[in-house]
Chains A and B, each alone.
Chain A
Amino acid sequence: MPNQVLQQYRSEPIRPLHAPAGLSLEKIALGLQLFHDVRLSKNNTISCASCHNVKEGGDDGLPTSVGIQGKVGGLNAPTVLNSSLLLAQFWDGRVKDLHKQVEGPIHNPVEMGSSWEEVIAKLKDDSAFTARFTKSYPQGLSAESISDAIATYESALVTINSPFDRYLMGDNSALSDEALEGYKLFKAIGCVSCHQGQAVGGNMFQKFGVMGKFEDHFDSSNEVNHGRINATKRSVDLHRFKVPSLRTAQRTAPYFHNGCARTLEDAIRVMAEFQLGESLDDREVGQIKAFLISLDGEIPEELER
């Protein structure tokens, strides 16, 4: 694991991202095609990229996504970028990995509204694609192989080389002063307790409303707002959500599980209040924002499509 190997990084709660290794290029290419393939949806209008637009930060810029026939979903689409680093998928973490995640949207009636049978049938009609697919997946088109292809592609979407990572690796000029101040503040007030690690988050579940009250911000009667308890049925998991990765935060507005925070500033302020009991002034918010912007890296252009 790269994390443990190089101790010459600055010893910080946040660690730099590295390009993923050991992924098959053919499978990435197949996954890329499938990710952008509208045939995965019932009426061939929606592809994964519709809600997880890789060019635009890996989400759709909507508070909650819109599926087939304009059906509106209940949750804000998380970014596909760096999604392989997350400990679980979906806000309630009900799915352990990217493989398992694929079937969710496909079968969700308000998202793609399709099924594996339909998808596989449609894909099999495309003989050219089937031939290409079968080269990498001798077992042919199946739920596993399609999921694997898509997951492989998604795993390749790691945003490396961010200014902050460069700072971490020793480049003092990589960060602006404001961003640096923002980082210090980020640490000082305790944001970093949850938004830490490689992904600056994404490795734990946390209650929304540590210092503040949950009900003050969300409608607790709405099941969608119950959080992890929906998946684990544990009482302690009530109002716990997956801590999102802030790496590509600057591109993934709106924020929170229902997309209620329109801007990054909003999100920062709400977080500070409800999680830390801090009220930040504009300057501080600006600094933190600058820091968050510095977290954003790049993915290879050919994967953007």
Chain B
Amino acid sequence: MRKIITTPLLVIYFGLVSFLLVKSADNGASEYAKIEKLVREIDQNNTELDSAVLSLRLGLVSDYDELTRCERQLSTLELVQQNQHADSTLEIQLRDTLSQLIDEKIHLSADFKANHSVVRNAMSGFRRHAAKSLKQIAKTSTQNANKVSVLEIMGARFVVSGSIADEASFEAAIADVKELESKDSQTQSTLALTLAHATKLVEHRIELDRTIETLVAVPIRQEALEFLDKASVRCIAESHTANRFRVCLVIAVALLIGFCIYQYIVLFKHKAALHESNASLERRVRERTEELASANQELEEAIAEAKKLALVARYTDNAVVITDAEATIEWVNDGFRRITGYEPHEVVGRPFHEFLNGPDTESAKLETMVAALDSKKGFDVETVTYRKSGKPYWVEIETRPITDQNGEVTRFIAIESDISERVKSEIERQKLNEQLVDASRTAGMAEVATGVLHDVGNILNSVNVSTNVIRRQFRKSALSSLERLTGLIGEYGDNFGEFIREDERGKKIPDYITRVTSVLKSEHQAITSEFQDLIDNVEHIKEIVSVQQSMAKSSGLRQRLLPTDLVNDSITANKGTLSNHHVKISQEIEESIPEIVSDKHKILQILINLIKNAKDAMVENDTPDPEIKIRVACAEEHVVFSVIDNGVGIPADQIEKIFNHGFTTKRTGHGFGLHSSANAATEIGGTLTVTSSGAGKGAAFHLKLPLDYQPPLATVPS
């Protein structure tokens, strides 16, 4: 819109300016200068010509070359006029005005030359011949000579003055002399010549001066100067007009400049704004570029990722299916074909679940899948479906919905694995498991039995040991010494008293008998304690067996127990073997250990086992000072029995396996002890743990039992 307004405005403005520019051109000054120059030249030439004429007239110059040159110069204007066309109108006017006058002048000059030469010759001729005549006539007539003389004088006067009065006198004198006649032909001819010259003088003398007057009076100078004045006036007027136009032009241009300045200011402001917006634009561009770059980067990464994923999808053995939101298949990968036997074009566009079921498919599973898809949810299902060939196979399907940024489900992606093999092996495993369970049940029973046997074995070991001790004791008994002594008595008979008093050996016998008696006492003590132990152990066996029986009946025996008793009983059970191997055993029982309510026999089983193991460890290690510490401590609602040895220790890599069934490090071990002990501990609500600093650094087993164990109602098989 603005353009439509401004363009014609601009055109008008520039038209105006051009007009003013043209009008303000002050040609007047240059024109005037040209005119002035021309006028000056004309004036000069004119003056020179006049000068030349007068010089000639005065006789200062005797040839017409200079005058002719002046004529030429003056007439050059004419010549120039014909050649140049670019003169101003004023110049042309001037030339037109003056050329006529110049023509006139030149003609007058030509007339002058002709007249002047004639007059000059007439003068000279007259003088010459008048003088000659006078001489000739003076011979004959004085009167005539006088007339001739008068003629001469009048002629001379006339020649000099050129006045009319003198002319008249001269003419009179000529008339006088004309009357003269001479007989002498020569004189006559001379006279005739004289008169001829005189007549010529009369003809041309005054004419000459008039010619000169006229010539000089040709108003070339006046015309030129007048013209110059007119030109001056006109040029000044032109200058004024031009000046006025120039003022207008200046105003117009000033307006333009003002406008430009205004525009410049506006532009400047806009420029600043532009700069600002430019800067912000740049910023935004930069930001966008960065965004774009990062987006690009992401895109590249995504593309790379996608390519990788595509590779995955292409080459994975699993089938990948992509469906739309309605679970219609959009795309399947190569794996799908490999698994199902269907080509992509056979499945694209079909509902997804079509390929997830067949005759043997559990309807419940199919319903689950369809329901999940309908509700736009994913599902993980293992089911039977059918290949294209009709063969069934087990498939594990993981389906997930894909949502857009609004949370709308746009697609489903499903990954199917052919798990037929796995299912098969799963079934087999199941079978094996059952077998195992049976086996384990059997084994468990066997284990229990073994455990019982083991525990009983342990105790029987102690029994054995006890009986061995007793037997040894009896064997080694000091009784034999007494027997020997009686033997000796018998030998000496009555002399025995003497023997005792006199014999060196015999002196020792009272002492010896005392010693033997004390030994027998201690033997008796030892055997008694051994017997006690024996009885205890047998009791223990009875208990174990009854426990086993009660276990078969699945009811645990609970009774109030003192930890100290438990520790002592378990030590006793191992007494024989401990003393055999010279294992020191010590107790550290905390004060105020409360009673615990639990299964005595299980606890004893465990403790006995632990002690036995400890002993075995030290025996194996050949520990120089084998020592077993038994600690009992109280911890929260539990009591902790710790069996600490300085035996072979347990390396770090075995410490976890140590409670495993069948694990043993003993040469003659069968690995049941710790396992069943751990199980037993668990059965009575406790834990069995071990700590060891490592190989050769001993071990510590901790049995942590609750103070009051309440078994659950149903038995939980281990």
Chain A residues with Cβ under 8 A from B259's Cβ?
none
Asked if A3 and B200 sit within 8 Å, CB to CB, the answer is: no
Q: A residues within 8 Å of B by Cβ? A: 1, 3-4, 12-15, 87, 96, 188-190, 192-194, 196-198, 203-207, 210-211, 232, 234, 236-237, 240, 275-278
With A203-B64, A206-B117 as contacts: A87 and B125 at CB distance below 8 Å: no
Chain B residue nearest to A279 (CB atoms) is B189
List the 7 closest A-B pairs by CB distance, nearest first. Answer: A190-B121, A193-B117, A196-B63, A197-B65, A204-B113, A203-B68, A13-B62
Chain B residues contacting A237 (CB-CB under 8 Å) are 110
Q: Find A232's partner among B107, B113, B196 (CB 8 Å cutoff).
A: B107
Shortest distance in angstroms between B565's beta carbon and chain A's nearest beta carbon? 152
**Complexed CA–CA distance, A168 and B269 (Å):** 90
Docked complex Cα distance between A190 and B63 (Å): 12
| Interface assignment of B400: CB less than 8 Å from any CB of chain A | no
Interface residues on chain B, number (Cβ under 8 Å): 28
Given A190-B121, A203-B63, A204-B114, 20 additional A-B pairs, CB 8 A:
A14-B63, A96-B75, A190-B124, A193-B117, A193-B121, A196-B65, A197-B64, A197-B65, A198-B65, A203-B64, A203-B65, A205-B110, A206-B114, A206-B118, A210-B121, A211-B197, A232-B107, A234-B107, A276-B121, A277-B196
Instruction: Write the chain A residue with the least CB distance to B83.
Output: A144
Q: Can you list 10 residue pairs at the A/B interface with Cβ under 8 Å? A: A15-B63, A190-B121, A197-B63, A203-B113, A204-B113, A204-B114, A206-B117, A234-B107, A277-B125, A277-B197
Instruction: Give chain B interface residues in 101-131, CB to chain A under 8 Å.
Output: 107, 110-111, 113-114, 117-118, 120-121, 124-125, 128
Contacts of B79 in A (CB 8 A): 96
Q: Which residues of A contact B65 (CB under 8 A)?
A: 3, 15, 196-198, 203
Our pick among A190, A198, A204 for the contact of B110 (Cβ within 8 Å) is A204
Decide if B71 is an interface residue (CB 8 Å cutoff): yes
- The interface of chain B, by Cβ under 8 A from chain A, is 62-69, 71-72, 75, 79, 107, 110-111, 113-114, 117-118, 120-121, 124-125, 128, 193, 196-197, 200
Quick check: B69 and A205 within 8 Å, CB to CB? no
Q: Which DSSP category, helix, strand, loop or mixed, fits chain B's interface? A: helix
How far apart are the CA atoms of A196 and B116 in the complex, in Å? 13
CA distance A198 to B113 in the complex (A): 16
Interface centre among A4, A193, A211 (most CB of B within 10 A): A193
A13–B65 Cα gap in the complex (Å)? 10
Contacts of A14 in B (CB 8 A): 63
With most chain B CB atoms within 10 A of its CB, the pick from A14, A203, A206, A276 is A203
B120 in contact with A190 (CB, 8 Å)? yes
In-complex Cβ contact of A205 among B114, B121, B193 (8 A): B114
Q: What residue of chain B has the Cβ atom nearest to residue A202's Cβ?
A: B68
Residues of B within 8 A of A240 (CB): 114
Q: Judging by beta carbons under 8 Å apart, are B200 and A211 in contact?
A: yes
Task: Write the nearest CB–CB distance from B102 to chain A, whole angstroms.
Answer: 13
Query: A277 CA to B120 CA in the complex, in Å?
Result: 14
User: A203 — which chain B residues lie within 8 A by C-beta?
Assistant: 63-65, 67-68, 113
The distance in angstroms between the C-alpha atoms of A278 and B132, with both chains bound, is 14
CB distance B117 to A204 under 8 Å? yes
In the bound complex, CA of A217 to CA of B72 (Å): 32
> In the complex the two chains form, what is the Cα distance from A234 to B200 in whole Å?
21
Give Cα distance in the complex from A204 to B120, angstroms. 15
Contact partner of B62 (CB less than 8 A), chosen from A96, A189, A196, A236, is A196
What is the chain A residue whose CB lies nearest that of B129?
Answer: A277
A234 (CB) vs chain B CBs: closest residue: B107
Shortest CB distance A102–B (Å): 16
B63 lies within 8 A of A87 (CB): no
Report the minimal beta-carbon distance from A189 to chain B, rounded to whole angstroms.
Answer: 8
On whether the beta carbons of B114 and A207 are closer than 8 Å, the reply is: yes
In whole angstroms, what is the CA distance A207 to B75 when docked? 23
B199 to A, closest residue via Cβ: A211
Output the least CB separation between B45 and chain A (Å). 14
Q: How far is the CA of A194 from the CA of B111 in the complex (A)?
A: 13
**Neighbouring A residues of B107 by C-beta, 8 Å:** 232, 234
Q: With A1-B69, A205-B110, A205-B113 in contact, do A193 and B197 touch (Cβ < 8 Å)? A: no
The docked-state distance in angstroms from the alpha carbon of A66 to that of B66 is 36
Given the complex of chains A and B, what is the CA–CA distance between A211 and B125 in angstroms? 11
User: CA A198 – CA B118 in complex, angstroms?
Assistant: 20
Bound complex: CA A7 to CA B200 (Å): 34
Is the Cβ of B63 less than 8 Å from the Cβ of A194? Answer: no
Q: Is the CB of A211 within 8 A of B196?
A: yes
- The smallest beta-carbon distance between B25 and chain A, in angstroms, is 31
**Residues of chain B contacted by A211 (CB below 8 angstroms):** 196-197, 200
CB of B456, distance to nearest CB on chain A (Å): 150
Please indicate the chain B residues that have their CB under 8 angstroms from the CB of A196 in the complex. 62-65
Which residues of A have CB within 8 Å of B111?
236
Chain B residue numbers with a CB within 8 Å of A87 are 68, 71-72
Contact residues in B for A236 (Cβ distance below 8 Å):
111
